[in-house]
């Protein structure tokens, strides 16, 4: 079991938008399995030193709830996800049956007020009703479980994005658009983020829908004095890219072309078949290179839906580069990872870190979480190593301050894995 | 042309042990081509900011000489290397013919006193004679060209290494062994390094022969107040490994196995067919992982001689790792690079940086050059990113100091590539 | 369910040497699952047309038994194999529990007379006793189940092979050596094969131990009028090699180097860590190229034990080749397959085909099975396509003859998969 | 030197449509280099036995000419192609300077009557004038060099293809459309092919423009009693595909997905950036799988323009397949080949084989050339091995007949390479 430093008494809620998807299901199963000591916390960054010395919320004290536009239960989606991806089996789910049922009790499987942009006009409630309804649900969740704080994580599918919206720049414009039910100016994720922040929740956007953390919503986070972070979890090909590209830069090897092909077969893949939905993700994946290299190489990011792969993303990248005397060389890599398995622990990490930040009276964009995102808020740096150093420095700084304030504290730091 | 900051008047020698090998030939051709403005300085780290703002020796002021146990000339080896690896053509060599001939004049193609360990007993001179002869040659080179300082780079083949030598620990023991002609206790590279350091040269060991920078020789570098650096240039698979492994560590992804296969067909490859010669190289390549990961994964490093590849090394690595919920995933990469092209510019970089350090009165192990080596001297850190940060910090520190001392200095910093 | 043409009444035994290994366990589980209609016959060649039109033994009429030097049961090894390789789960095994128990009743888990060459001298019975004991067991199996014919498949581990044995050339010499208990001249597999053939069983050697089908034993198969086939099942890297190499030949592209790296972590992999055990396998894998290409390229076949991979073999091959104008190009492939899953159905196929051949009064080396082996008996051709054509032609020929003899026959041919 | 069987006296013309492209340039340089004994005939299928025993036209007796819509000369394009792809150097071109100039004398660098479909309406001549002009040029070429026969090879770029044309079905309709100048019903390649066939030339369509060998034009070939062959040279990814896919079929391994990514940076790649131009090529590449497997797997064929790769195509394919017990496995391959180097020798092969067929009074679609094409005329079989067997059988058949007719013939068969 993950023997994390205890913060007695306090309880934190983790409210998931898109609670029946693959990542959500996997993080719920995994969080419960770690809590029960049935699995090690491999893959969780906060299980590593120095983070495991911080007084973060224990998984035991994390209450999970959420909403999804699909009907169903986590108990059911866990059976389906585990079987189709081969990542966890019936034996584990049997052992967690009660815990899963408890989470199911916190889910709103089919909310009366959907924020699905594709719903027919007449079937869609007013935006202000959507906001009110979501706030009501979160408030009820908080009250029912006597939670000190709720962290919301956005795990819905990639949305089509209008090219530019006046509502993203200023909170007043966004609030006016919601009041006037201007659905052409408010994306579903913006609407959700607005409600959550208004409800004083920390807000983490794991999706590529970057409008969910636009300047207007950052203003709101500042005003509500809650943390906000995003966008687009960095779990596979882009993760590798941000580890590798600095190597070429540090050797003055000129990248001529960097072509990446991503194949995946899960629901995410099906959604991304639609070029409109794929646009923001590809932009996030593409943008990282020029920042790290200092120039724009020919670069392509391709996403293909290959149903048989299911949740097992396979990415292949070809890097063509030029070295001394203009000689051209190449590198290629294949990444074969299970998307949900890679993403899920990071959501638990960020829920714990957002909750911690909130209790430290930190608010607004959380730059120290940059290493978790393809397109981090308020951070220029795209390379993984310095991003991770920012997180280590954040932890070291807090540990030092905690040490100063509380010299008799007994840190029971434990090893991950 | 590489428009480097000029340090007027001063001239530096670069003396190469193994001057007719692939790397040496390539760095000579490349250095001359850049000097003549025929090729950009791609691949040279010192052509990048902030290093290009340091007052390093210009390539124009670098005089190249050296020795080799083979007969021949750089002019001839350049024809052969260029043709077999396709890295530079006759047109370029024609344009550089005079410059190459000038380098040839500084070469001792078949030294009367070889330090080849394999030579028959009776044909081998006393170790003290080898030392004296090498010193004489370097001194003559220095005098002939009125050099302020000479940097020696060791580029000979991988040597078999005795498992432990009492001479490596203390300078006195090494000197005694040389005096007594104890060839069983002094490797060829140790003997060369001893002579060079005695001659007040900076010494850079690019080979895997780590005894060349053993504690005894580090002592000598301290005593002679010259810089020393090594071991084993990091140019291919290990370079990638030190960029990638920290990614797994930063995500708490447990590496189960990391198998690497290196195929190469150049002279280096032929030498490494011999397990005795290969041992030190494999040790250097293997050691890096456990430092970066904090544990020992199952790891194999294999080197295979594949003649048709020539100087084009192809490496394939399989990384099998475990994530959340114990799920196993994998990554593989193929690296197809030309060894000499990757190594040569780094030798030029280090010659310039060693010369700079010497002029700054810095001596002994140069920790800031760690990023260039598989097995860096006096540095625990194996990950590429923090190693490179050490070099950047070194440059920044010197630039600041230079700025303070010399406020009117006009830095003409230029972009590489 | 595999609806194969029925041959009413006849029952065939499949006796496995090494019945508790990964391949044996997988073929037993798979055969039973197909019989029960729980899995499709994917991977079985005899489920394809035209083979599915031949009156082969139905899986229903195949009785499985065997021996193993390990203690245990298939029921138990199935749990272990399924869990560690993720190839079949508890749900399937629960459904097959009775069937597996029935197979277990036919197994001799710890035979009193082991043929393990590594056993201490005093603990080893006389070779003639080993032969007699194995014959007794097979006879008992045949009697108990009233079997018309028994096919033996050798699935034991790779054995070390003495470089040359006089006993392999002539049956008389082999029999004399057995009589005189000359264990230095008879390998365990030779001893087993001798007993099985004496007992009038068809004999299929799926292992790399080629002495099991040496000329002496081929003579015995001729004398006993039973089929014999081998050696070394072709399931992964070599399968791909024999599909790809003819492409280079057909385009007059000259293969310069073909380097293959095989990583595996199962028991087979552990055994093959020992160079003596690996020798025959590597020889089989290497030999194929020169036959297909007509010359000897530089070729390496490497086998590495990587425990975390378990039964999932990962092979990477680099093919470096020369084309028009002497230009060098390359191809590489990665094969990620589960060894047992690839091998198991072929054993079922060959058991059915050997039984069929026996009933057709065919005996001695079965050239038409060449496509199943790395090192086929009596067949020079190594390329997969013409080998497969031999099998198709064999089936077509028999179908035509059957059609001529039995014009009213109603073939219910069915599609696989 | 390729010592091919001499057919004294006879001279054959090879007329190239698109004579300044990469493939054309490479085949001209390569053919001349082989003729001069400066390079071996590696990559030429007709240099292999048994083809090298057929009395094919010697390269010495092949006169090369052609047209291109670009201005220029082969002498110039050879410098450019050799330098950019690194496939042949200035030394070779210097040695061939006179031979190249002789070819240049046969080229029409900027024909007054272009058949470029993209040309502005008013600038385009009537179709009948285009036909007449091309016929005039070929006739002049034939007369000037006293050629017995001319083989035309179409090497122009991929053209956009109208979805269906009534003119493709029947020769009369095509001729009417040409007469009426219906450019919407006649593609440039159809127009060229019509002219060439009318001029009694053998016609080989190496491009993906399949209309060039449509039924109407096949009729014309029949009527003119000349051979015709196509479509779309099989040189890289598809070549590998047709070698590998039969392996999966022969093992009853079910291919779930086969995704292929082709990156290339030559003129061909630039043209194929246009989806309209790419359509026919992708169709040809895709169609092969279902024929070989007997079902339609999920399959994607992607073509990406990556300028830095130049003529060096890099293709990566992922094959996801299912085996015994429904277990999913995968294979991936990377192909790194120089397109022109792979294609050029096949054009020489087919020119020789078409000329041979013509002299044997064979005409219409040449099924025995199927192995050279992605989308062969009149042949269902897509697998490489049986296609190659058709070519071998053709040669064997002719060799036997020649042997019978001409018993005193002295075949000087020689080995390639």
Is C6 domain-assigned?
no
Query: According to the model, what pLDDT value does residue B123 have?
Result: 65
Pairing of strands D62-67, D12-17: parallel
Residue B20 φ then ψ, to 5°: -105, 5
Residue B186's Cβ-side half-sphere holds a number of Cα atoms within 13 Å equal to 30
Angle separating helix axes C384-405 and C237-250, nearest 10 degrees: 100
Centre a 10 Å sphere on the Cβ of residue B10 and count the other Cβ atoms it contains: 15
pLDDT-derived band of residue C122, with 50, 70 and 90 as boundaries? low
Pairing of strands A107-108, A202-205: unpaired
* DSSP labels, D156-187: -PPPP--S--GGGT-HHHHHHHHHTT-GGG--
CB C28 within 8 A of CB C64: yes
Residues A86, C86: C-beta atoms closer than 8 Å: yes
D403 to chain C, closest Cα gap in Å: 24
Beta strands in C282-340 (DSSP E): 298-305, 312-322, 328-338
Choose among C251, C414, C233, C235: nearest CA to C324: C251
Task: Quote the longest CA-to-CA distance of chain A.
Answer: 68
What number of residues does chain B have? 417
Interchain contact C390–D (C-beta under 8 A): no
Interchain contact D166–A (C-beta under 8 A): no
Tell me the β-bridge partners of D337.
Answer: D313
Mutate to test the interface with A, among D85, D253, D261, D305 (most CBs of A within 10 A): D261
Is D414 domain-assigned?
no
Separation CA D97–CA D90 (nearest Å): 10
Is A413 domain-assigned?
no
CB B344 within 8 A of CB B16: no
Centre a 10 Å sphere on the Cβ of residue D381 and count the other Cβ atoms it contains: 17
My answer on whether C326 and C348 are in the same domain is no
**H runs (alpha helix) in C155-274:** 171-179, 188-198, 215-224, 237-250, 267-272
Query: According to the model, what pLDDT value does residue D409 have?
Result: 38
Chain D residues in contact with A300 (beta carbon < 8 A): 304, 306
Query: According to the model, what pLDDT value does residue D405 have?
Result: 56
Per-residue CA distances from B35 to B3, B8, B39, B43 (Å): 9, 16, 8, 14
| Angle, vertex CA D356, rays to CA D354 and CA D360, nearest 5 | 115
My answer on whether B355 and B300 are in the same domain is no
Separation CA A58–CA C93 (nearest Å): 38
pLDDT-derived band of residue C417, with 50, 70 and 90 as boundaries? very low
Query: According to the model, what pLDDT value does residue B84 have?
Result: 87
Residue C354's Cβ-side half-sphere holds a number of Cα atoms within 13 Å equal to 34
| B169 CB-near residues (< 8 Å, 6+ apart) | B214, B215, B216
- pLDDT over 60 (residue D346): yes
Interchain contact A370–B (C-beta under 8 A): no
Chain A residues in contact with D318 (beta carbon < 8 A): 263, 306, 314, 316
Beta strands in D289-384 (DSSP E): 298-305, 312-322, 328-338, 364-365
Residue of chain C whose alpha carbon sits nearest to that of A83: C89
Within its chain, how far is the Cα of B215 from the centroid?
19
Tell me the β-bridge partners of C15.
Answer: C65, C152
My answer on whether B379 and B316 are in the same domain is no
Mutate to test the interface with A, among B4, B26, B87, B251 (most CBs of A within 10 A): B251
Residues A91, C91: C-beta atoms closer than 8 Å: no
Share of chain D above pLDDT 90, in %: 71
Beta strands in B156-250 (DSSP E): 202-205, 227-230
Burial class (CB in 10 A: 0-12, 13-18, 19+), B81: buried
My answer on whether A330 and A386 are in the same domain is no
Query: According to the model, what pLDDT value does residue D2 have?
Result: 37
| C-D C-beta contacts closer than 8 Å | 174
Domain limit, last residue, from C319, C338, C357: C338
B35 to chain A, closest Cα gap in Å: 12
Centre a 10 Å sphere on the Cβ of residue B213 and count the other Cβ atoms it contains: 29
Is D43 domain-assigned?
yes
My answer on whether A42 and A160 are in the same domain is yes
Choose among D305, C174, B178, A117: nearest CA to A125: A117
pLDDT-derived band of residue C70, with 50, 70 and 90 as boundaries? confident
Query: According to the model, what pLDDT value does residue B267 have?
Result: 73
My answer on whether D117 and D184 are in the same domain is yes
Residues D42, C323: C-beta atoms closer than 8 Å: yes
Interchain contact D95–C (C-beta under 8 A): no
Interchain contact B316–A (C-beta under 8 A): no
Domain limit, last residue, from A338, A362, A387: A338
CB D3 within 8 A of CB D46: no
Query: According to the model, what pLDDT value does residue B111 have?
Result: 53
Name the average pLDDT for chain C. 88
Tell me the β-bridge partners of C16.
Answer: C66, C153
pLDDT in tens, D53-82: 999 999 999 999 999 988 889 999 999 999
CATH number of the domain to which A133 belongs: 3.40.50.720
My answer on whether C380 and C261 are in the same domain is no
Pairing of strands A107-108, A62-67: parallel
Interchain contact D316–A (C-beta under 8 A): yes
pLDDT-derived band of residue D84, with 50, 70 and 90 as boundaries? confident
**pTM for this entry:** 0.92
Is D4 domain-assigned?
no
Average pLDDT over residues C215-242: 96
Interchain contact D118–C (C-beta under 8 A): no
Within its chain, how far is the Cα of C91 from the centroid?
28
Separation CA D300–CA A274 (nearest Å): 16
Q: Which of residues 68-87 of C touch A (CB under 8 A)?
A: 86
CB D323 within 8 A of CB D253: yes
CB D79 within 8 A of CB B89: no
Element (H, E) at A262: strand A254-264
Residue A373 φ then ψ, to 5°: -125, 150
Query: Does C285 or B374 have the greater pLDDT score?
Result: B374
Out of B306, B318, B334, name the one closest to residue C263 (CB): B318
My answer on whether C129 and C246 are in the same domain is no
Out of D86, D90, D334, name the one closest to residue B91 (CB): D90
Domain hosting residue B87, numbered range: 12-233+341-405
User: 3-class SS at A85?
Assistant: helix
Point out the residues of chain B with pLDDT beneath 70.
Answer: 1-9, 109-123, 285-286, 404-417
Count of domains forming chain D = 2
Query: According to the model, what pLDDT value does residue C136 have?
Result: 93
Is C416 domain-assigned?
no
- Sole residue written with tokens 């990477």: C316
Query: According to the model, what pLDDT value does residue B339 have?
Result: 93
Chain C residues in contact with B261 (beta carbon < 8 A): 259, 261, 302, 316
Burial class (CB in 10 A: 0-12, 13-18, 19+), A122: exposed
Query: According to the model, what pLDDT value does residue B119 have?
Result: 59
Residues D298, A308: C-beta atoms closer than 8 Å: yes
- Sole residue written with tokens 């100016």: A185
Is B4 domain-assigned?
no
Query: According to the model, what pLDDT value does residue A274 have?
Result: 77
- Sole residue written with tokens 């040569």: B344
CB D387 within 8 A of CB D260: no
- Sole residue written with tokens 């002019």: B75
D327 to chain A, closest Cα gap in Å: 11
Is C411 domain-assigned?
no
My answer on whether D46 and D64 are in the same domain is yes
| C345 CB-near residues (< 8 Å, 6+ apart) | C27, C30, C41, C42, C43, C44, C45, D252, D323, D324
B87 to chain D, closest Cα gap in Å: 10
Out of B254, B325, B333, name the one closest to residue A33 (CB): B325
Separation CA C364–CA C213 (nearest Å): 10
Mutate to test the interface with A, among C82, C84, C89 (most CBs of A within 10 A): C89
Residues D320, A306: C-beta atoms closer than 8 Å: yes
CATH number of the domain to which A259 belongs: 3.30.360.10
Separation CA D250–CA C371 (nearest Å): 9
Separation CA B346–CA A251 (nearest Å): 8
B90 to chain A, closest Cα gap in Å: 14
Choose among D316, D195, D323: nearest CA to D256: D323
A317 to chain D, closest Cα gap in Å: 10
A54 to chain C, closest Cα gap in Å: 33
Rg of the Cα trace of chain C?
Answer: 21
Query: According to the model, what pLDDT value does residue D339 have?
Result: 93
Beta strands in D307-346 (DSSP E): 312-322, 328-338
Residues C259, B320: C-beta atoms closer than 8 Å: no
Out of A256, A309, A316, name the one closest to residue D316 (CB): A316
Q: Which of residues 263-292 of B touch C (CB under 8 A)?
A: 263
CB A109 within 8 A of CB A21: no
Separation CA C219–CA C223 (nearest Å): 6
My answer on whether A307 and A347 are in the same domain is no
Per-residue CA distances from B221 to B131, B175, B224, B397 (Å): 16, 14, 5, 23
Tokens matching residue D338: 């120089």
Point out the residues of chain A with pLDDT beneath 70.
Answer: 1-9, 109-123, 285-286, 404-417
My answer on whether D354 and D215 are in the same domain is yes
CB C108 within 8 A of CB C67: yes
Residue of chain B whose alpha carbon sits nearest to that of D87: B86
CB C398 within 8 A of CB C409: no
| B-D C-beta contacts closer than 8 Å | 8
pLDDT-derived band of residue D190, with 50, 70 and 90 as boundaries? very high
Query: According to the model, what pLDDT value does residue C120 have?
Result: 61
pLDDT in tens, A232-245: 999 989 999 999 99
Mutate to test the interface with C, among D51, D252, D386 (most CBs of C within 10 A): D252
ipTM of this complex: 0.92
User: 3-class SS at D302?
Assistant: strand
- pLDDT over 70 (residue C291): yes
My answer on whether C306 and C166 are in the same domain is no
Least confident of A50-54, A93-97, C188-192, C319-323: C188-192
Domain limit, last residue, from A288, A310, A338: A338
């Amino acid at each position: 079991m993950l023997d994390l430093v205890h913060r007695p008494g306090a309880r934190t809620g983790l409210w998931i938008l898109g609670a029946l998807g693959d990542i959500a299901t996997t993080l719920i199963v995994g969080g419960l399995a770690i809590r029960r000591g049935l699995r090690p916390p491999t893959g969780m960054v906060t299980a590593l030193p120095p983070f495991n010395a911080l007084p973060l919320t224990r998984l035991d004290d994390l209450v999970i709830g959420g909403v999804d536009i699909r009907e169903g239960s986590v108990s059911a989606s866990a059976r389906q996800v585990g079987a189709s991806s081969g990542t966890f089996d019936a034996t584990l789910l049997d052992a967690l049956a009660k815990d899963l049922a408890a989470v199911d009790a916190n889910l709103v499987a089919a909310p009366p007020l959907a924020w699905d942009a594709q719903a027919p006009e007449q079937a869609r409630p007013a935006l202000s009703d959507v906001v009110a309804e979501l706030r009501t649900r979160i408030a009820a969740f908080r009250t029912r479980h006597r939670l000190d704080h709720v962290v919301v994580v956005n795990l819905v599918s990639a949305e089509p994005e209008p090219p530019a919206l006046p509502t993203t720049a200023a909170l007043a414009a966004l609030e006016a658009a919601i009041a006037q039910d201007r659905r052409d100016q408010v994306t579903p994720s913006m609407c959700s983020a607005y409600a959550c922040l208004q409800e004083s929740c920390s807000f983490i956007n794991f999706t590529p829908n970057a409008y969910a953390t636009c300047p207007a919503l950052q203003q709101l986070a500042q005003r509500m004095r809650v943390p906000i972070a995003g966008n687009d979890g960095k779990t596979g090909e882009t993760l590798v890219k941000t580890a590798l590209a600095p190597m070429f830069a540090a050797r003055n090897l000129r990248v001529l072309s960097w072509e990446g092909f991503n194949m995946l077969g899960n629901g995410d893949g099906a959604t991304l078949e639609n070029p409109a939905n794929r646009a923001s993700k590809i932009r996030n994946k593409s943008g990282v290179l020029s920042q790290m290299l200092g120039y724009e190489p020919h670069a392509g990011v391709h996403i293909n839906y290959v149903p048989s792969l299911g949740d097992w993303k396979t990415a292949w990248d070809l890097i063509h580069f030029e070295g001394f005397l203009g000689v051209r060389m190449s590198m290629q890599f294949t990444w074969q990872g299970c998307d949900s398995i890679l993403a899920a622990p990071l959501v638990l990490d960020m829920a714990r870190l957002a909750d911690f930040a909130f209790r430290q009276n930190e608010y607004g964009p959380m730059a120290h979480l940059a290493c978790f995102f393809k397109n981090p808020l308020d951070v220029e740096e795209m390379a993984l190593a310095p991003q991770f150093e920012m997180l280590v420095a954040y932890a070291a700084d807090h540990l030092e301050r905690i040490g100063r304030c509380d010299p008799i504290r007994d840190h029971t730091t434990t090893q991950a894995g």
